[in-house]
Amino acid sequence: MPYHVRTSLPQILTTTDDERVRATMHIRLARADDVPATATLPVPAFTNDELYDPMFPRRIEYPSHFRAYFLRRYQMRFWSPDFVFHVGFGDKGDSAWFGTARIVGYAIWSRSGKSDVAFAWRRHGDTWRSRLELALLRAEEWYTDLFRLDRSIDYGFRDRFLATEPAEFEDVDEMWKLHNLATDPRFQHRGVGSMLIAWGQEQAHREGVCVGLTASIVGQGLYLKKAFRMYGVIPCPGFMDVPMMVWEPEGKKGAWGVYKDGKPKGLAATAEPRE
């Protein structure tokens, strides 16, 4: 399986006794038993995020339904070979340690394109079990939608919003896309979010492609600090235009132009997958 990860970031932390200790934040590939914890993080992290206002207008009233939406979505992305799912966690001696590591952040990536590199990434998790799990999850999603069981969602707006997804980076041929990123508010400013982003940037640098994402107003500041720039917007009727941002590797700054400006977008990846 093609894979490369920077696994840890040393930090100096302050304990309640004001004793200074060295602890480390880590990232790794997610396991199936990590997914419920990742579905809990968006509830506090996205409560005040304006991107979720029209789609989840009753998320505060129905927090368990809001969490259940992310659980279904993240389980599907975990089992799908189209996605690469990372989690962040603390070290022993960290405030995130409770006899075992607590999941304090996550990032979900995908690799688009028609190159051999892109196909290799999308094949890595295609197993008989993943196909079975996806079939069961899609049946659950169908049942939930049919009877409108999630009371936090505005289903009409969700359907209109999802119809805009094909326009995201439609003129970029090869890229890494960051679909989801969140950290536990209690463990922000500790570096785990930066590590989760850096994994995709490092992978894109080796493959000679860009990184793309859509960002809320709340999230744009973080991505600008990580050398992303504005790429364009996706019009969404009845809602704000959703900003798209890109990060470009050294030596290729500006190679991806701006959205729908008539310039070539991206360069075909030629790098070989890393084991």
Residue scoring higher pLDDT (138 or 260): 138
Q: Which of 18-27, 38-47, 73-82, 265-274 has the lowest mean pLDDT?
A: 265-274
Structure tokens that stand for 177 in this block: 């896309």
Q: What is the pLDDT of residue 24?
A: 77
Question: How many CB atoms neighbour CB 240 within 10 A?
Answer: 15
Sign of CA dihedral 41, 45, 51, 52: positive
Going through the chain in order, the beta strands assigned E by DSSP cover 8-14, 20-29, 83-90, 103-112, 175-183, 210-214, 229-234, 242-247
- What H or E segment, with its residue span, contains residue 137? helix 128-146
Over residues 134-142, mean pLDDT: 97
Q: What pTM did the predictor assign?
A: 0.86
Helix (H/G/I), strand (E/B), else coil: 195 = helix
For residue 104, the one-letter residue type is: V
Looking up tokens 């950290």 gives 183
Over residues 235-252, mean pLDDT: 87
Helix (H/G/I), strand (E/B), else coil: 186 = helix
Helix (H/G/I), strand (E/B), else coil: 3 = coil
Percent of the chain with pLDDT over 70: 83
Helix (H/G/I), strand (E/B), else coil: 155 = helix
Contact 128, 135 (CB under 8 A): no
- Among 197, 222, 219, 220, CA closest to 45: 219
Contact 231, 248 (CB under 8 A): no
Q: In degrees to the nearest 10, what's the CA dihedral of 234, 169, 202, 88?
A: 50
pLDDT in tens, 30-87: 999 999 999 999 998 888 888 789 999 999 999 999 999 999 999 999 999 999 999 9
Structure tokens that stand for 270 in this block: 């030629």
Structure tokens that stand for 257 in this block: 């132009």
Question: Cα–chain-centroid distance for residue 84?
Answer: 9
Task: Give yes or no for residue 25 having a pLDDT over 90.
Answer: no
Contact 200, 109 (CB under 8 A): yes
8-state DSSP, 240 = P
Residue scoring higher pLDDT (234 or 16): 234
For residue 160, the one-letter residue type is: R
Structure tokens that stand for 240 in this block: 């704000």
Contact 196, 223 (CB under 8 A): no
Contact 246, 240 (CB under 8 A): no
Q: Which of 62-71, 94-103, 190-199 has the lowest mean pLDDT?
A: 94-103
